[in-house]
Amino acid sequence: MIIGVGIDVAEIERFEAALQRTPGMAGRLFVEREVLLPSGERRGIASLAARFAAKEALAKALGAPGGLRWTDAEVFVEGSGQPRLRVKGTVAARAAELGVRSWHVSLSHDAGVASAVVIAEG
């Protein structure tokens, strides 16, 4: 059963400017594994913007409650290339309250825009 669906878009250039303007912002939005590629290189800005959009979409899928911590949701990619969500803390508590048992995530970026869709399933 679908419990919630969220969608969000982020203008990549605007997101990059916000990160540059506020140096600590990346640390408040992402866990280190989201910022760095497995090689240790920094992930590209379009990919980070898509991950930010996924976190916004996740909040919408949960009914957009206040008090969710951005770093309590992690977007990661399986070996197959499929994006997934790992949740803990405030996000996991809200998901449990709603009966969410699994997540479906889709990320995209093209023409200066990053987007994400999140489906919460119970």
Cβ(104)–Cβ(2) under 8 Å?
A: no
Average pLDDT over residues 38-50: 94
Residue 98 to residue 89: CA distance in whole angstroms: 14
Instruction: Compute the CA torsion angle 26, 113, 109, 63 (nearest 10 deg).
Output: 70
Which pLDDT band, with edges at 50, 70 and 90, does 118 fall under? very high
Res 37: pLDDT: 87
- pLDDT at position 66: 85
Q: What's the full length of the chain, in residues?
A: 122
For 105-110, what is the mean pLDDT? 97
Average pLDDT over residues 81-90: 96
Dihedral angle over CA of 51, 82, 86, 40, nearest 10: -70
CB 51 within 8 A of CB 75: yes
